[in-house]
Structure 1
């Protein structure tokens, strides 16, 4: 972190050097042009010619170096930040999935990570560079003709402090609101995509899209407010630029009438205000919309600072894997299933049965820590919601497991990333998936697979895991009776020594414990 700050400080210094090079180039060019018009001996112009070359080259070199250093630093920060976020997400996976707005949360994390770095690059760095370069310009103005500070100094204070204060108090607030509204819009749009076809067919699409249209109108109004305010502030800043330039020119004109001021000094004093505020023109455009970037920075900082008070899996001893449910009800929104109570000890098989729609799959997601629940659901005496890395404790195959558009090998390695081909092939033989080569690409753009094969790929992932508890939701679904019986026997044999929880509405003849669930 310290090295990143050092690199960003170097980038800021280089950015300021580029701006100061512009000031030096303009002032020295004014001296050279004015003096050359008087046709002096060529040696008189030698120093100024060298200075023009020096400032011209150094300005370009400093700007190029600033781009390299600043962008490299930002990419380093971005990589580090993504690693830290991944570690946080992995440690709090079940907490995050409890948030019903997790889709919106993921979008915010993805966008905010990049925008937070843009805030450092587009706002913080130009701000400090502008302060340094304008300070340098004030010193040059003091050397050229001190009276010009009467206009340059107040103009600098207005542009560096007064207008940014207004932007911070008004523009940033509006852009922050726009970002929040856009996040809400993304969430509403995601929700609206489900069932939109049916809504169009049956004529209630206006009801589904009503919230979207309201949010669109809100975002449009906020954008107009922000644009109007930006136009006013831009007009104010341009007025200040112009006022300083015109006032400085008028001052030098009046002074030339009452005293013998060298023409080169008059030229330098007039040219200086034209370039002294170049840093402002780089800083302001992103400062106007900095509310979005600042919100991103705050969002990421808050997430990284969040404490993790959950119990890690490592604190549970191997003998403390007893799963106990007391009056448990799991639901996406409103509770609909009757309370469930059961206990399964390490090495036992628990079969959960119920009619279609009774909440079997919903209960499975609750046990895996993917949905909030009411009641007590403990593993080794610790609430499931309080176990941080529960995915190391329970592996599961849900009713709708996703098949990724990659090889069978990579699909299976999701359960055990370091599994060898021999282990994968043994699991394929166990579940009679050996007709599919490990290198065969599955998924939407790959080899088409049946529902039964897709189900067995999900089961294979769960069995490959080293987790002491295995949960399978309808593992023999889409299979004929003979194949289903063979798979059932092999799974039971494979899970000897591990807790096996099977959710089914039929089948699975052998079990140590059985529980039936129903709707309220």
Structure 2
């Protein structure tokens, strides 16, 4: 049972039993009020027909009003408690997943497309959390109310109770099974298509300009449209099962009411005189109570569908968590030094070209520039050095220990890769920097922003570093975004900074000046003891790196150990297309 993906995923929600019990109790009280309202109202109508003294009806009248009000009140409390539990669970689950991904095996996410990752941490977690509202609470309430309704009917007529129990089983068991099968068919049929749609949609939103220039925008948009059509077709194919499940409940209600009516008429006796031993009030209750009894079980087909979708989503969430959890394997050590060495290193993505072998030594405090045209493997090399990609061949050591033998969390505390497309969050400027170091103070944030050339812009902000970047990336220009990302890298506690295109979108003069300061140990921009590796398209002639690795030429020269002397050049060529899977020279 505990190996069930849904059970494991629900464990991530950290649902508090007390909150869940409160939601179930409120749900039972709400629909219980509806059931009692039906019974009392039926008795009141039949008794009023006999025109008794008004005082004989006063208690029933007050009860009808109270039950009508309490139904709405308890319904509100149930929705409040269940949604609060679900939302808290979703937040807790995402936090747990993010912590696991941050401290776990990098390969769990680096080989995954962004759209797929967003689907698993977003929609899939939401689907699992929704089980509380759409399945757990409705099922518990339906079970309690069904037993209560059958018991009430049994007090009037045993045969009517049997008919009601059979009808409730049809609506609460058979219909949910049919709905579950339909949901499984639709979900499994559309899962891959929906994921493909997310991948292509995210790629279009993120890289529309580049895709248009490269002539691939129509292709990517067309692929997204095709994926959407396939997902819709899968849902249509499952509609037949949904239709049968939807028809089961009205059929069960009709059969139950008709059966109760026939039994009531038979027991009441010919002529309506009650010779069969049944009073008019009991007959009215016998006919009207089944209508209210089905209000609870009518939600069960939707609950079954929610459970099915949640189980499929949970399988994807658990696989993501398990993939990141490989890092917890015993025998991993902490990194004790940050001297990075690579021997015969070849890097590349699966099913793509790889770099020729490279020997590299990154000593403490080294300043290294990696240059070359787009697509030659610069970013891939940095990701491999950071342990985010497995080397195709060769070996990387950190402090003399093989990267495979070091805990990935420890590696990232020593060596950190800062991507050119890193995310800016829709929060304050200060909090965007605290992504790298949570203890960053306001004064430290202001100092580092001024050091990367954002002083004048910062002075123009009314709230300074407390200014909210509304829309994240959209709140700043391309150049400001790069400087903020560079400031985030500088404030990080990592000893080795692997910077991917930190001066892109800056004008030539300002970009060259910033590169000079990054590659000069004496500039003060980055403390001398830290190692800096910068990927760039154009290296200023008067910059002072310890080593330049060029990946442009067709032949490779051997890389020399880092020294303050002559620059060394390494070359390679790679062809890949970011995230989408299309072939293109970048």
TM-score category of the 2 structures, normalised to the smaller one: 0.7 to 0.9
State the distance in 2 between where 1:157 and 1:206 align: 52
In the other structure, the counterpart of 1:162 is: 174
Shift of 1:132: 1.0
Moved more, 350-359 or 167-176: 350-359
Q: Please say if 1:188 is aligned against 2:200.
A: yes
CA RMSD of aligned residues (A): 3.8
Counterpart Cα distance in 2 of 1:447 and 1:153: 64
Q: Distance in 2 between matches of 1:29 and 1:94?
A: 63
Counterpart of 2:269 in 1: which secondary structure? helix
Tell me if structure 1 keeps the 8 A contact 2:365–2:521. no
CA 1:298–1:12 in structure 2 vs 1: closer, same or farther (change >3 Å)? farther
Q: Which residue of 2 aligns with 1:344?
A: 362
CA 1:143–1:422 in 2, change beyond 3 Å: closer, same or farther? Answer: closer
Report the CA distance between 1:137 and its aligned residue.
0.4
Tell me how far apart the structure 2 counterparts of residues 384 and 255 of structure 1 sit (CA, whole Å): 81
2:493 pairs, out of 462, 466, 480, with 466
User: 1:410-429 counterparts in 2 under 5 A?
Assistant: 413-424=434-445, 426-427=447-448
Matched, 1:327 2:344: yes
Q: CA deviation at 1:338?
A: 1.3
1:10 is paired with a residue whose SS is: helix
CA contact (8 A) 2:178 2:244 kept: no
Equivalent position of 2:386 in the other structure:
368
Residue 295 of structure 2 corresponds to residue 267 of structure 1 = no
Equivalent-residue separation in structure 2 for 1:198 and 1:254 (angstroms): 79
Using the alignment, how far apart are the partners of 2:214 and 2:436 within structure 1?
Answer: 42
1:518 matched to 2:571? The reply is yes
Q: Does 1:377 align with 2:396?
A: yes
475-484 vs 279-288, greater mean Cα deviation: 475-484
Of residues 87, 94, 104, the one that matches 1:75 is 87
Task: Give the direction of change, closer, same or farther, for the CA distance of 1:111–1:315 in structure 2 (3 Å limit).
Answer: same
Query: d(CA) in 1 for partners of 2:360 and 2:416?
Result: 19
Calculate the TM-score normalised by the size of structure 2: 0.76
Shift of 1:158: 1.6
Conservation of the 8 A alpha-carbon contact between 1:196 and 1:208: no
Which deviates the most, 198-207 or 491-500?
198-207
Which of 520, 525, 529 aligns to 1:489? It is 520
Q: Does 1:359 align with 2:377?
A: yes
Matched, 1:280 2:292: no
Shift of the 157–92 alpha-carbon distance from structure 1 to 2, 3 Å rule, reads: same
**Any stretches of 5+ residues in structure 1 without a counterpart?**
none
User: Which residue in 2 is equivalent to 1:8?
Assistant: 20
Over residues 281-337 of structure 1, what are the superposed CA-to-partner deviations in whole Å (9 max), with x where a residue is unaligned?
Answer: 23334544553344334433454566623279x95354x322111222222451242
Q: Note the residue ranges of structure 2 that are not aligned, 5 or more in a row.
A: 1-10, 271-275, 547-561, 574-586
- Alignment of 1:141 with 2:153, yes or no, is yes
SS in 2 for 1:266: helix
- Superposed displacement of residue 196, structure 1: 6.5
Could you list the per-position Cα deviations for residues 438-480 of structure 1 after superposition, in whole angstroms to 9, with x for gaps in the alignment? 638788666757x5x7665544433333322233456678347
Q: Which is further off, 226-235 or 361-370?
A: 361-370
Equivalenced residue count is 517
- 1:59-79 CA-partner distances (Å, limit 9, x unpaired): 333223222222222232223
Kept in 2, the 8 Å contact 1:476–1:487? The answer is no
Instruction: Write the mapping of 1:12-31 to structure 2, written as runs, cut at 5 A.
Output: 12-31=24-43
Distance 1:251 1:379, change over 3 A: same
CA–CA separation in structure 2 for the residues paired with 1:251 and 1:412: 74
Kindly state the Cα deviation for residue 238 of structure 1 after the two structures are TM-superposed. Answer: 1.3
Distance between the aligned counterparts of 2:373 and 2:213, measured in 1? 31
Contact 1:189/1:212, CA 8 A, preserved across alignment = yes
Partner of residue 137, structure 2: 125
